[in-house]
């Protein structure tokens, strides 16, 4: 049971845009006190953001909303919203009163211990919510595949559904980032000897990580603050994404060796190791999706019987105002102009034959090993066709962009633009 007025009230409030610079600043002066400040922010912000996601789900066409996967989504978002509200109701008493009741209950003797106890409890709640929503993307894909079957006439979801998916995924990602950042900071504060980003850089890392929150393998000398890498080694991240894409390619085509990726620096970037502030998990997702598509296009265009393929060329350059551009160029035959926007549609697939996705068995597998859906959301060979749509969304979320340009008969060039730190501010709306 839920008080509908509380939901409407929360949904009528404005979301506060995240700033990557602010997230970094918070993490640089880490203390129990600054973590509590962030907790207070999330305590206000998360009910607002969850209520807006619930409204978006409720406004869907009945035929989609009433599918079992979407009913599950609504149920999960409602439960999370209620838990956050309940915490908010309780914590208001803690913050305002002298905490007498809680002190007696927990036998706490000082304020520091009390604050740590509050933070532990909130982190546990955020972790529960994170786990609950790990399978959201599979539910969405499943629901839409059922809806498409019902619609039957259309091969792509309608623009209304595309708009919903963009808006919902954008909102969901904002939540994931603020929750992931808080949990990572909490982890770093209370277990400083064991960094949250200790996963090694292995080829199958996108599928294998069991991390609880947004995290992606980085080099050992990581200076990560929460989920942000203030000085990310972009080339190392590209190499890592290349290995992941090549691994997936090789798994898919078995005996065919994937194209190589050649990284080149424009003159203005200077030295080889360009550093740039990013959320590595997001950029890794984008790079992995683009490289995978370029590799597939290259191999299919030149023929699967070839022993080698033209390189995929990656070029890094920075603009005069401090933004970073990453260009990924393939010689995979390109696309005619009328098709160049298609990869950004949800449910887009490059596979020529229609692959039937066995959602019930995916759900069963995920229930046994939920961490498979935890990061990147790209269960590699399942291919929901969300990869490039979400990549563009990820690039745009903090002010950047992802643009495809293509020459039919030749190749395709994808350009990722990332804004400089001060301009990495969350875009709450798009289009």
Residues that bind ligand W6P (CB under 6 A): 290, 293-294, 297, 330, 332, 334-335, 343, 388, 404, 412, 414
What ranges in 133-262 are assigned the alpha helix state H?
A: 136-151, 159-190, 205-208, 234-253
Closer of 280 and 343 to ligand W6P (Cβ): 343
| Nearest-angstrom CA–CA distance, 332 and 349 | 16
Between 83 and 377, CB nearer to ligand W6P: 377
Which residue number places its CB atom closest to ligand W6P? 297
3-state class (DSSP) for residue 275: strand
* Structural contact between residues 193 and 205, judged by C-beta atoms closer than 8 angstroms: no
424 vs 209: CA distance, rounded Å: 27
Q: Which long-range contacts (CB under 8 A, 24 or more apart) does 67-71 make?
A: 67/142, 67/143, 67/146, 67/147, 68/143, 68/146, 69/138, 69/139, 69/140, 69/142, 69/143, 69/146, 69/359, 70/139, 70/140, 70/143
Give the shortest CB-263-to-ligand W6P separation in angstroms.
16
- Judged by phi (left if over 0) then psi (alpha if -120 to 50, else beta), residue 369 lies in beta
| Residue recorded with tokens 């020459």 | 407
Closer to ligand W6P by CB, 130 or 244: give it: 244
CB of 47 or CB of 334, closer to ligand W6P: 334
Rounded to a whole number of angstroms, the minimum distance from the CB of residue 23 to ligand W6P is 29
Nearest distance from C-beta of residue 237 to ligand W6P, angstroms: 18
State which residue, 335 or 373, has the beta carbon closest to ligand W6P. 335
> What counts of helices (H) and strands (E) characterise the chain?
14, 7
Q: How far is the CB of 286 from ligand W6P (least distance, A)?
A: 10
Minimum Å distance from CB 145 to ligand W6P? Answer: 22
Q: What is the DSSP string of 130-147?
A: HHHTTTHHHHHHHHHHHH
Instruction: Name the minimum Å distance from CB 257 to ligand W6P.
Output: 18
The Cα–Cα gap between 237 and 229 comes to 11
- Least CB distance from residue 277 to ligand W6P, whole Å? 25
Question: 130 or 242: whose CB is closer to ligand W6P?
Answer: 242
Nearer CB in complex with ligand W6P: 171/310? 310
């Amino acid at each position: 049971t839920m008080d509908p007025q509380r939901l409407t009230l929360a949904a009528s409030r404005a979301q506060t845009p995240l700033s990557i610079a602010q997230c970094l600043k918070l993490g640089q002066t880490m203390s129990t006190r600054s973590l509590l400040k962030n907790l207070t922010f999330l305590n206000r912000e998360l009910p607002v953001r969850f209520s807006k996601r619930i409204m978006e789900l409720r406004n869907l066409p009945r035929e989609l909303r009433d599918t079992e996967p979407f009913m599950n989504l609504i149920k999960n978002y409602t439960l999370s919203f209620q838990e956050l509200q309940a915490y908010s109701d309780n914590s208001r008493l803690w913050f305002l009163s002298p905490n007498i009741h809680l002190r007696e209950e927990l036998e706490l003797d000082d304020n520091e211990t009390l604050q740590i106890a509050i933070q532990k409890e909130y982190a546990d709640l955020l972790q529960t919510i994170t786990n609950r929503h790990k399978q959201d993307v599979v539910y969405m894909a499943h629901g839409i595949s059922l809806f498409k079957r019902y619609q039957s006439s259309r091969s792509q979801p309608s623009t209304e559904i595309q708009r919903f998916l963009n808006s919902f995924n954008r909102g969901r990602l904002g939540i994931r980032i603020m929750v992931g950042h808080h949990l990572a900071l909490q982890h770093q504060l209370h277990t400083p000897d064991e960094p949250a980003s200790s996963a090694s850089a292995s080829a199958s890392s996108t599928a294998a990580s069991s991390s609880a929150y947004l995290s992606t393998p980085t080099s050992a000398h990581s200076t990560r603050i929460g989920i942000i890498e203030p000085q990310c080694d972009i080339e190392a991240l590209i190499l890592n994404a290349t290995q992941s894409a090549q691994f997936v390619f090789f798994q898919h085509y078995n005996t065919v060796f994937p194209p190589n990726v050649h990284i080149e620096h424009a003159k203005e970037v200077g030295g080889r190791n360009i550093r740039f502030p990013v959320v590595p998990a997001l950029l890794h997702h984008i790079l992995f999706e683009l490289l995978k598509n370029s590799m597939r296009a290259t191999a299919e265009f030149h023929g699967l019987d070839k022993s080698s393929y033209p390189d995929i060329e990656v070029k890094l350059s920075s603009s005069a105002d401090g933004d970073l551009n990453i260009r990924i160029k393939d010689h995979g035959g390109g696309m005619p102009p009328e098709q160049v926007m298609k990869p950004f549609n949800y449910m887009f697939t490059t596979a020529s034959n229609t692959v039937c996705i066995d959602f019930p068995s995916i759900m069963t597998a995920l229930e046994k090993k939920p961490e498979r859906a935890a990061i990147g959301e790209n269960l590699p060979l399942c291919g929901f066709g969300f990869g490039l749509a979400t990549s563009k969304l990820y690039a745009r979320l903090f002010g950047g962009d992802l643009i495809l340009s293509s020459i039919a008969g030749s190749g395709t060039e994808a350009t990722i633009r990332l804004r400089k730190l001060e301009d990495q501010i969350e875009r709450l709306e798009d289009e």
